[in-house]
Amino acid sequence: MSTLTIFFAVLYYAAALLLVAGLAYKIYDYARTPAPLKIPTTPAPITGTGVALRVAREVVVFESLFKSNKWIWLFGWLFHVSLALVLARHLRYFTEPVAGWVTFIQPFGTYAGFGMAIGLAGLWARRFLVDRVRYISTASDHLMLALLVGIGVSGLMMKFVSPTDVVAVKTFMLGLMYFDVQPLPADTPLLVHLALVAILMIVFPLSKLLHAPGLFFSPTRNQADNPRERRHLAPWAARLEQK
């Protein structure tokens, strides 16, 4: 077994552990954060089903962003939809046999790589071109964009410029999942791609990318507009009242 294979195997086990444990902790932390006030942004739904639909619209079509800024919506939505397609296409490296729908979306997933890059380019340009956004942009804003662009470009390089042995990549990934480490091809774009993905997995629970689970915990979006019908009493506040 080459040192390179061992390095990436250890890196991926560590990254997976940090990603899962980090995300679990952050989600637990969000879930136990008090939401003492009733603050849904109105007009808001008045039932639980209505709230579920509202959150679903936020997740699928980025409704609030659409209302507030069409340009950010366009690039942001393009990036996220493309990312979803790209990730769905990647399922073929982690499953055997490959599901029919994963085979079906392969071509869409490939070209979504360009959608991802265009979306990211638009979002990044905004951080330079719009004065008030440039003013509040920090190094981490730029670094997360750079990381995602790097993953996208190295992936597209593999697909269109210098192909890698995708069967060997799949054998390596399945090997990791079954604790039976198999050799990893030593192609530069692949190694860059995998190293950047590992970095992404490690920083994800510490970064702004936490907005993905965070969206579900947003009180202005996940509360029903029913303060008259039901008194808003968080469980921790109810316990205080009993004392």
> Residues interacting with ligand HEM, by CB under 6 A?
83, 86, 89-90, 93, 109-110, 113, 116, 148, 151-152, 155-156, 158-159, 163-164, 166, 169, 173, 193-194, 197
Q: Return the structure tokens found at 117.
A: 């890059």
Shortest reach from residue 203's CB to ligand HEM, in Å? 12
Name the residue number minimizing CB distance to ligand HEM.
155
Shortest reach from residue 149's CB to ligand HEM, in Å? 10
Taking the least distance from each CB to ligand HEM, the nearer of 45 and 152 is: 152
Shortest reach from residue 129's CB to ligand HEM, in Å? 24
Shortest reach from residue 184's CB to ligand HEM, in Å? 10
235 neighbors 32 (Cβ within 8 angstroms): no
For residue 105, the 8-state DSSP code is T
Taking the least distance from each CB to ligand HEM, the nearer of 74 and 195 is: 195
Q: How far apart are CA 80 and CA 84, in angstroms?
A: 6
Taking the least distance from each CB to ligand HEM, the nearer of 52 and 146 is: 146
Taking the least distance from each CB to ligand HEM, the nearer of 185 and 219 is: 185
Stretch (H or E) spanning 189? helix 188-203
Q: Return the structure tokens found at 13.
A: 């086990």
Q: How far apart are CA 214 and CA 153, in angstroms?
A: 28
Shortest reach from residue 33's CB to ligand HEM, in Å? 28
Taking the least distance from each CB to ligand HEM, the nearer of 44 and 194 is: 194
Q: How far apart are CA 37 and CA 35, in angstroms?
A: 6
217 neighbors 30 (Cβ within 8 angstroms): yes
Taking the least distance from each CB to ligand HEM, the nearer of 14 and 31 is: 14
> Can you say whether the dihedral through the CA atoms of 221, 19, 21, 169 is positive or negative?
positive
Shortest reach from residue 239's CB to ligand HEM, in Å? 42
- List the alpha helices (DSSP H) in 3-69: 3-31, 48-61, 63-68
